[in-house]
Chains A and B, each alone.
Chain A
Amino acid sequence: MFISISTTGTAERPATDLGFLLHKHPQKAQQFSTAHGVVHVFYPEADEQRCTAALLLDVDPIALVRRGRGKGRGGSPDFALSQYVNDRPYAASSLLSVALRTVFRTAMKGVCEQRPGLAEQPRPLTVRLPAVAVGGGERRAPEERSLVEQLFEPLGWQVTATPIPLDESFPSWGESRYLGVELTGTLRLAEALQQLYVLLPVLDGAKHYWVSPDEVDKLLDAGEGWLAEHPDRALIIRRYLHRRWSLANEALRRLELARLAEADDAEVEELDNAVPTEEPDSAASDSLAQDNASPAEGPEEPAAGADRPVPLAQQRRESILELLRASGAARVLDLGCGQGELVAALLKEKQVTEVLGVDVSAGALAAASRKLRLARMTERQASRVRLVQGALTYTDARLKGYDAAVLCEVIEHLDLPRLPALEHAVFGAARPGTVIVTTPNAEYNVRWETLPAGEHRHADHRFEWDRAEFRQWAERVAANYGYTVALRPVGPQDQEVGSPTQLALFRIGTTQGTGPAATTAAAEPATPGAAAEPATPGAAAGPAATVAAAGPAATTTAAAFAGSTDHTERSETR
């Protein structure tokens, strides 16, 4: 990787002063060993008018990989570090940043003992970086400022950024994530070096292999005098430190999955996507994608007139909890528990004596375990909760004998042809007394302004059903397995498209085989006319409360719920 720094001068202020400032003689080619390769410093031009210092970090990619050795068996380098094919030798990134700091340490401090005063004066500078890695900038619209401009212009640089195509033989592949960058400005050299030191890794923002325990200190040190005033300082700090997050994520990433992705010529993220990586830049635009996890969802809701709308995920949980309370369930399965939000909520319920959280993603389970602080629970608390890996396309003896199971935003993550396997595993084999299933209502998607038409709410959703499709499915499953089912909306109700989430409450038939009849009864309300108005938009607890209230002591809660369904269904069909 390569960087050149040029300055211009006059007879009084010769350009060759650059040599003094950098503490590197313009007539010499010098070498410095660093951890990642040899750094060469030389001057392609050096006279009074123009002087250019060039720094070349001759990265040894194999040495780079070998530094990560010993993680795999037999000493073979493991995934991520095993990528002999990587851009580090060519593109400016955090490694170049380290090289700058190592070789120009004194210059970066602004010390120049041989020419006192020189370091304090701003100079006309041109910095050229033939290939700068810019992460996260690919999807930016062309008229938008590039991240390079955004970062450097406020510091007084003029920025010329030239996109580099991926491969001119395949124009359809588009631009690469590299830019040829030229920065021009009049700054103190020390300042320029500090800015480069901080901002190159910030630009990169992607995978890198450089960890340093005192990064915050280094950032504050190098950012002194300019970072505090930078309009995008928050972004800079986040991205700079985010790299540590991504390292943490990287460590959490399961190598086994990574290897499977590798065997399949696929991106790791393609397979290991159960836990969304925290990408600060995209937090705003991707709130939909984090439908399950992110409280940022609320503000997107069009119907939310209230000052502080309750996030949909929370409304879902509240609906589920209401129904579970009404069902009297004590031992509850959270099937597809993800990062354990519902598990946490269930543990707060007095009547719940045991929660078994099941997820297929070991990553999600690890995250759930962390968030629930399982390791720090008292024995009594811990005895109420267990998290296990399981897959709902397989029957699982551990799931038998529970009062209730919740599949909260789970079924849509399964390919449709695999759904019968889940039906068998849950309704046929595990057979909890109560099953609650929630899934998006596809009709409602038109109300999400940020969601392009025809797209799913989450990249991993394999399907999203409208209300008719969900009802059809639920009734078939109930009939097949001897359950009764009732449907209800969750979230603000829209006259035209219904609610964002739809929920089905299944109750096991008293005897097997009477299921279908009972289902029919529940699905087709016998007495029309008892219609109530739909619940207030945004107040998800409304219908649930009705359920609880409508349950006369003598009847079972299932019957009570079937009764309450009448009005919610009709309100939907209007």
Chain B
Amino acid sequence: MTDPTTDQSTGRQPRRLPVTDLSLVVLIGTSGAGKSSFARQHFKPTQVISSDFCRGLVSDDENDQSASAEAFELLHYIVGKRLAAGRLTVVDATNVQPAARKQLVALARAHDVLPIAIVLDVPPGVCAERNRQRPDRDFGDHVIPRQHRELRRSLAGLEREGFRKVHHLRGVAEVAAAEIELEKRWNDLRDRRGPFDIVGDVHGCRAELETLLTRLGYQLVRDEQGRPVDALPPADRTAVFVGDLVDRGPDTPGVLRLVMGMVAAGHALCVPGNHENKLGRALGGRKVTVSHGLQESLDQLAAEPPEFVVEVQAFIRGLVSHYLLDEGRLVVCHAGLPEKYHGRNSGRVRSHALYGDTTGETDEYGLPVRYPWAEEYRGKALVVYGHTPVPVPSFLNNTICLDTGAVFGGSLTALRYPERELVEVPAEREWYAPVRPMATDAPGAREGRPLDLADVAGRRVVETSLHGRIAVREENAAAALEVMSRFALDPRLLAYLPPTMAPSATSRREGYLEHPEEAFFAYRADGVREVVCEEKHMGSRAVVLVARDGSALERRFGLAGPGAVWTRTGRAFLGDQELTGALLDRVRAAAERAGLFEELGSDWLLLDAELLPWSLKALDLLRRQYAAVGAAAGAALPEVLAALAAAADRGVDGLTELTERQRRRAADAAAFTAAYRQYCWPTEGLSGIRLAPFQVLAAEGANLAVRPHDQHLAWLDQLAAADRELAAEGGVEPLLKATGRLVVDTADEASVAAGIAWWEELTAAGGEGMVVKPLASLVRAAAGQGRPGGLIQPGLKVRGREYLRIIYGPDYTEHLDVLRQRALGHKRSLALREYALGLEALDRLAAGEPLWRVHEPVFAVLALESEPVDPRL
């Protein structure tokens, strides 16, 4: 304290009382000690909760002692709410009895904040005199002396009671001279904005750490013996270590020397791991079980000079359980931390930060069973941690584990923040044999644990690399759960569900609801010049997973078989397994002949396709709805027209307009029937069935959906050509149908006109229409184009005028003005979200992530499909 100011009235140095900025301050003092005035003077009115005030609330009388029980219940409730919200809170009550304080300490602990006691130790005579001047305080003379005795008795034990700071103000003068000094919590480094390089568990792997730091652009500083003692960060970056620097590995002292040097120089931050904690206790002479590689550290440190060991002890003692960084957007700790513990202070928080949430059980390897806290994490801050070795680090609910088992022969990983870039250095060797295989129950394990309801049910947020966090509502997840578990194929095969697609903006053209010019215009506005128009096949959407041989799927998906064909909701497309097998045989043969398996280096392929005819899958719907409407119209309207004609012949007036309208209605109904008939034909076995693939979604290790569409079409042309050859050789009909396409330059009028003409031709011949897609496939908005970096619609469908009768009803052309009011916003947003989820699933599949990670976005697509969007869009 160097503050020279003195309190004028007393002539004494002001007494500075440090108070942590998030804590529960408990004022202790007899009635009349001046607690309320003190609180008023030093804290905001909203920070102070007084028992008198609560008495008043429950009984309309601040001094009604009979209301005390209720008043304190209320006080505790309010205090609890404030602490849960992370607000500094002051309790203004006498608190002279241990029982009263005990409840408050428990409350502080329950919310993981520090309890702080401020004792206003004022002579009873002064208090009694003050009370006498207040007419509302007419309790007996014996009260204050009793309270004072209780207070004196309490003084010595306050720290034992759990108060982390005790400020004892003796006498009126000290109380008057006191000043509160708010202190930041040690874990609060929110003002450090980074950028950071966060390094996973090192475990004595000094060589790998040197390589990693160098790769991150740090310059190693070495002592005269050539040992690294610091590393100079590039630009204004800071390294952050997630703990577990020590144990198991070859050079724990070397790692400590380097990291301690970096921390001391302000080049790094470090949080403790459970291994530091135990090492610290072992070095401090405490009895610990020497296991899990502690022996290696102790042996290696024994070879170091004793003063180094002392430094290590001090370093470990000084480590703070976790840090809040970058305005609270980043939390670094060793074993992960739920949001409610961020920035909090308690033994429980420290224990969670060091050891994670364990269920108390141990697994078959004798290791604690960890509670998958990250799966439940819904916090806004990114939590970066280590502790649990995973083969591949991956983001889960805004958390990421960076322990990639360097000491077990895995790799040492760093996360560049805010870039969210992973930098990995492979281990030079396996330094220590793992007790349990790395790929068991940890997130990211290769096989993945079985699917858990918590992976999909309820309100969820799915992280996508393309579109950020995508929320799934509870009711949509519930519907998806019903369909997924009752009707869908095995989720192991179901690596993708097709996203919905938005139509082009509504056309103003006479007689049209949709027209290609809006699609071309939209892409031009988004800065996309090259688009491909693809013929829209009118069948039913089908995703086809085809295996090259009998064991390919077993190897990759853990489920043997020739493959699968599924619908938009993941159901088997053809109920008949034999037919599915025959179809897959043909696709496989064509892919083999076309050399696609070779070219893509994969023994399986995932195709997005349309399976025709429409009547193959939608026959029930066709019969109940479409054909039925046609039949009813066909039966009713001629009779109506005949009756109108007869009436008109009799000379009844005023029927001209009605007759004309009924005539148009009859024509529309006929056009409607003609429209759906185009998409219906009988099939027998494979005969009559056509498969029109338009995208190769994925192959081993690759998400192909992000490749340009001309590449897709080239692959699929090869496939269709091979199928034609094989069909000719075998004397059967071809199965595969090529997709007609035309590339259009949206900025070139002639090209756009050609695109429109092509669409008109397609639809005039009875086609459903076309889909316009950016040729490059995945496109983000350029700077200055809408939301920079945001996704652009992956495709816009432009449906034909006649086809839309099936969607909007036979007479829709009569009501275009009304129908043009359709709102597209939700559909567009849905299309983007589902597209991003689809690609996320394919990315995760390509990266070999566990089943539940692939299933999560697939399930989310299904859930989003049950969002309320105008189904005609």
Contacts and interface: CB of A to CB of B under 8 A. Distances in A.
Q: Do A and B make up one complex?
A: yes
Interface of A: 1-2, 4, 27-29, 40, 42-46, 52, 54, 56, 58, 61-62, 66, 71-79, 82-87, 89-91, 128, 130-131, 133, 164-167, 169-170, 172-174, 176-178, 180, 254-257, 259-260, 262-267, 270-271, 274, 360-362, 389-398, 413-414, 417-418, 421, 424-425, 429
A389 B643 contact: no
Contact of A267 (B568, B624, B672): B624
A391 B809 contact: no
Interface in B651-666: 651-655, 658, 661-662, 665
B157 to A, nearest CB: 41
A176 B646 contact: no
Contacts of B58: none
B660 to A, nearest CB: 12
A85 B625 contact: yes
Contacts of A170: 615, 627, 677, 680, 682
A259 B808 contact: no
Nearest to B372: A397
Given A29-B658, A167-B630, A264-B567, A74 B639 contact: no
Contact of A74 (B622, B642, B682, B826): B826
B145 to A, nearest CB: 48
Q: Which 9 A-B pairs have the closest CB atoms?
A: A256-B479, A391-B485, A44-B646, A84-B809, A76-B870, A256-B866, A90-B632, A72-B868, A176-B631
A60 to B, nearest CB: 8
Interface string B594-631: 00000000000000000000110111111111111111
Given A267-B621, A389-B457, A391-B453, 10 more contacts: A56-B658, A79-B871, A82-B871, A85-B808, A86-B625, A90-B633, A130-B636, A167-B677, A362-B479, A394-B451
B453 A390 contact: yes
Interface string B850-869: 00000000000010011111
B629 A259 contact: no
Interface stretch (B26-34, B196-204, B811-819): B811-819
Given A43-B652, A271-B482, A393-B485, A77 B629 contact: no
Contacts of B869: 72-73, 76, 259
Contact of A178 (B571, B631, B806): B631
B482 A362 contact: yes
A396 B500 CA distance: 30
Contacts of A362: 478-479, 482
A460 B628 CA distance: 26
A44 B868 contact: no
A165 B631 contact: yes
A87 B619 CA distance: 17
Nearest to A176: B631
Contact of A255 (B450, B617, B868): B868
Contact of B629 (A87, A128, A165, A172): A87
Interface string B476-512: 1011111111110111000000001000000000000
A263 B569 contact: yes
B599 to A, nearest CB: 31
A254 B866 CA distance: 10
B673 A58 contact: no
Nearest to B559: A417
Given A131-B635, A264-B567, A256 B677 contact: no
Contact of B639 (A128, A165, A173, A255): A128
Contact of A86 (B568, B629, B645, B868): B629
Nearest to B629: A87
A421 B451 contact: yes
A91 B617 CA distance: 26
Nearest to A165: B631
B756 interface: no
B484 A85 contact: no
Contact of A172 (B651, B652, B682): B682
Contacts of B655: 29, 42
Interface of B is mostly: helix
A254 B474 CA distance: 13
Contacts of B646: 44-45
B571 A264 contact: yes
B207 interface: no
A298 B487 CA distance: 30
Given A62-B818, A265-B621, A389-B481, A44 B631 contact: no
Contact of A85 (B451, B476, B654, B806): B806
A267 B487 CA distance: 14
A424 B450 contact: yes
A176 B807 contact: no
A398 B458 CA distance: 14
B635 A130 contact: yes
B643 A2 contact: yes
A271 B487 contact: yes
B637 interface: yes
B823 interface: yes
Contacts of B642: 44
A299 B489 CA distance: 38
B481 A360 contact: yes
Given A180-B635, A389-B457, A82 B872 contact: yes
Interface in B409-454: 450-454
B650 interface: yes
Contacts of B61: none
B717 interface: no
Contacts of B614: 265
Contacts of A177: 628
A460 to B, nearest CB: 8
A40 B865 CA distance: 42
Nearest to A462: B486
Contact of B569 (A58, A91, A174, A260): A260
A49 to B, nearest CB: 14
B384 interface: no
Contacts of A66: 818
Interface string B663-680: 001000100110001001
A394 B809 contact: no
B482 A360 contact: yes
B652 A29 contact: yes
Nearest to A56: B640
B868 A396 contact: no
Nearest to A90: B632
B456 interface: yes
B764 interface: no
B147 interface: no
Nearest to B539: A265
Contacts of B819: 62
Contacts of B210: none
Contacts of B479: 254, 256-257, 259-260, 362
B654 A29 contact: yes
B475 interface: yes
Contact of B636 (A2, A78, A255): A2
A176 B632 contact: yes
A412 to B, nearest CB: 12
B647 interface: yes
A83 B567 CA distance: 22
Contact of B632 (A40, A178, A396): A178
Contacts of A166: 623, 627-628, 630-631
Contacts of B822: 76
A176 B673 CA distance: 14
B825 interface: yes
Contacts of A74: 823, 825-826, 870
B639 A130 contact: yes
Given A29-B647, A271-B483, A389-B478, A77 B490 contact: no
B809 A62 contact: yes
Residue among A66, A77, A166, A167 having the largest count of chain B Cβ atoms under 10 Å: A167
Nearest to A428: B450
Nearest to B484: A391
Interface in B789-840: 806-812, 815, 818-819, 822-823, 825-826
